[in-house]
C-alpha cells in the first residue's frame, strides 16, 4: 500500500519514526507498504518509489531531502497526482473551519483514498459529511487518536463491542486540565498557581482557554457523540463549563468527602463538559495528565480505559489505525499470518 503523510510536525515525524522502527511488523501485514509522499505547509516531497524513512528522519526540513521536493507545492496537488492508497492527515487542528485538513480529507476520500487522522478539527466541523464520503467511496476512515490520544475507544467499540449498545460515555478527555486539578487536589494550590505551573511545564495548549474553558474536551464529546452514539452533534450543542471558577476551597471541601473535582465530558441524553465530583474510589478518578474513558453499554455494562491523551503516546493510535487499514484493505498482503 502506498501512503501519504500530510503534516510533518510532532505527530507526522513521530509517525514516520514509528513506520521506520516497526518496519518488520508492517511488512508482515503488507509487504508492499511504502511512504510515497510527505507534505507540510511549505511544500511536499513526492517519490513514487518510496521515501527513505531513515534519511527523512535525519533532516530538519522536507526541503533538505535530496530528491523529489516540490517547494510551495500544495498537499491537494500531491493527493491528486499521487497513486496513494492511504492518506494520514496530521496537520494542525483548527476547530473553526477544519482547514486545511478538511480540504485534504475531502480530496483524498473523493479519490477513493483511505484516511487515517489524529486531527480533531475536520471531524468536529464535518464528521457526517466525511463519514458519508468515506462510505460512498468504500474507504476506511479511522480517527482513533482524535479522542483521548493513545486510549483505544473507537477500536474497542468497533472490534470488541459489536453487539453492544453504548448507553453512556463519560470521561476525563483533557490531560492538561486534569494536571491542573490534580495539582490543586494534592498540593492544595490555587487554580492560578497550578495553571502557571502547567504553562511552565509546556503542557498547556497555546491558548489556555482552549483547555481550561473545556473547548478541547467539548470537541472530543462532539466526536464521540457523532461517531459512537450516532448523533448529529455540533460543537455548539455541548453544554460547557470549564475549570476557571474552581477554587482551592472547593477542591478541599470535595476532598474531605472523598471526592476529587474533575472536568468530565458526558454523552448520554445530554452532551456536556463540566467539573464534577468524582468519588476517589471510582475508576475515572485518575490524576496527573492521564485521561480516562468510562463506557456504559447494555451487555458489557461498564468498561473503563485509562491512558495518555496527548503527546508522544498518540502515535500508538495513529499507527494502529494505519495497520488496521493495511489488514483490511492492503493489496500486497504477505502470506504470513498477521499479528493484529
Partner 1 sequence: MKYDLTLALADRPGQLLRALEPIAKNGGNIISIIHEREKPAEGYVPVSLVVDFPSKQNLKRTVSDLKSLGVSIIKSEEIVETTRLTLIMIGRMDLKRLIETRVENVRITGFEVSAPTSKEACVKLELEIPTNSVDKALGELRKVLKEENAILISSI
Nearer to partner 1, 138 or 257 (CB): 257
Nearer to partner 1, 105 or 251 (CB): 251
Least Å distance, CB 249 to partner 1, is: 4
Nearer to partner 1, 126 or 241 (CB): 241
Residues near partner 1 (CB under 8 A): 170, 190, 241, 245-250, 252-254, 256-257, 259, 261, 264, 266, 274-279, 282, 284
Which residues have C-beta within 8 Å of that of residue 292, sequence separation ≥ 6?
151, 171, 172, 283, 284, 286, 304, 305, 306
Give the Cα separation of 328 and 209 in Å (integer): 40
Residue 40: closest CA among 88, 87, 5, 2: 5
Give the Cα separation of 196 and 266 in Å (integer): 27
Residue 124: closest CA among 88, 96, 91: 96
Candidates 220, 230, 234, 256; catalytic one: 220
Least Å distance, CB 252 to partner 1, is: 7
Least Å distance, CB 294 to partner 1, is: 8
301: left (phi over 0), alpha (psi -120 to 50) or beta: left
Place of cell 499479528: 339
Least Å distance, CB 151 to partner 1, is: 18
Nearer to partner 1, 120 or 276 (CB): 276
Burial, 13: exposed, middle or buried (Cβ in 10 Å; 0-12, 13-18, 19+)?
Answer: middle
Give the Cα separation of 256 and 261 in Å (integer): 12
Q: Is 312 a catalytic residue?
A: no
Give the Cα separation of 40 and 73 in Å (integer): 9
- DSSP 8-state assignment for residue 215: H
Nearer to partner 1, 106 or 294 (CB): 294
Least Å distance, CB 168 to partner 1, is: 10
User: Which are the catalytic amino acids?
Assistant: 220
Amino acid at each position: 500500500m502506498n501512503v501519504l503523510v500530510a503534516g510533518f510536525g510532532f505527530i507526522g515525524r513521530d509517525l514516520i519514526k514509528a513506520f521506520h522502527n516497526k518496519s518488520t511488523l508492517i511488512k508482515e501485514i503488507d509487504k508492499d507498504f511504502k511512504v510515497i509522499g510527505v507534505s507540510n505547509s511549505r511544500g511536499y516531497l513526492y517519490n513514487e518509489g518510496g521515501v527513505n524513512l531513515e534519511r527523512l528522519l535525519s533532516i530538519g526540513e522536507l526541503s533538505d531531502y535530496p530528491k523529489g521536493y516540490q517547494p510551495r507545492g500544495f498537499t491537494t496537488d500531491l493527493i491528486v497526482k499521487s497513486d496513494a492508497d492511504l492518506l494520514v492527515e496530521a496537520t494542525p487542528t483548527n476547530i473553526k473551519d477544519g482547514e486545511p485538513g478538511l480540504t485534504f480529507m475531502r480530496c483524498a476520500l473523493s479519490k477513493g483514498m483511505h484516511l487515517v487522522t489524529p486531527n480533531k478539527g475536520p471531524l468536529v466541523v464535518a464528521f457526517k459529511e466525511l463519514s458519508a464520503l468515506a462510505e460512498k467511496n468504500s474507504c476506511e476512515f479511522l480517527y482513533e487518536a482524535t479522542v483521548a490520544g493513545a486510549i483505544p475507544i473507537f477500536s474497542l467499540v468497533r472490534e470488541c463491542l459489536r453487539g453492544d449498545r453504548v448507553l453512556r460515555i463519560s470521561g476525563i478527555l483533557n490531560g492538561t486540565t486534569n494536571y491542573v486539578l490534580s495539582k490543586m487536589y494534592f498540593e492544595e494550590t490555587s487554580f492560578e498557581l497550578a495553571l502557571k505551573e502547567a504553562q511552565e511545564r509546556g503542557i498547556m495548549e497555546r491558548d489556555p482557554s482552549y483547555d481550561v474553558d473545556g473547548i478541547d474536551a467539548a470537541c472530543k464529546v462532539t466526536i464521540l457523540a457523532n461517531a459512537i452514539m450516532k448523533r448529529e452533534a455540533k460543537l455548539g450543542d455541548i453544554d460547557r463549563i470549564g475549570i476557571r471558577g474552581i477554587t482551592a476551597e472547593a477542591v478541599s471541601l470535595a476532598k474531605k468527602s472523598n471526592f476529587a473535582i474533575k472536568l468530565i465530558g458526558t454523552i448520554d441524553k445530554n452532551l456536556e463538559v463540566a467539573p464534577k465530583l468524582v468519588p476517589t474510589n471510582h475508576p475515572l478518578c485518575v490524576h496527573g495528565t492521564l485521561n480516562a474513558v468510562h463506557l456504559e453499554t447494555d451487555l458489557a455494562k461498564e468498561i473503563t480505559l485509562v491512558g495518555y491523551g496527548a503527546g508522544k503516546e498518540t502515535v500508538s493510535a495513529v499507527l494502529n489505525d494505519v495497520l488496521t487499514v493495511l489488514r483490511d484493505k492492503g493489496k500486497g498482503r504477505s502470506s504470513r499470518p498477521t499479528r493484529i
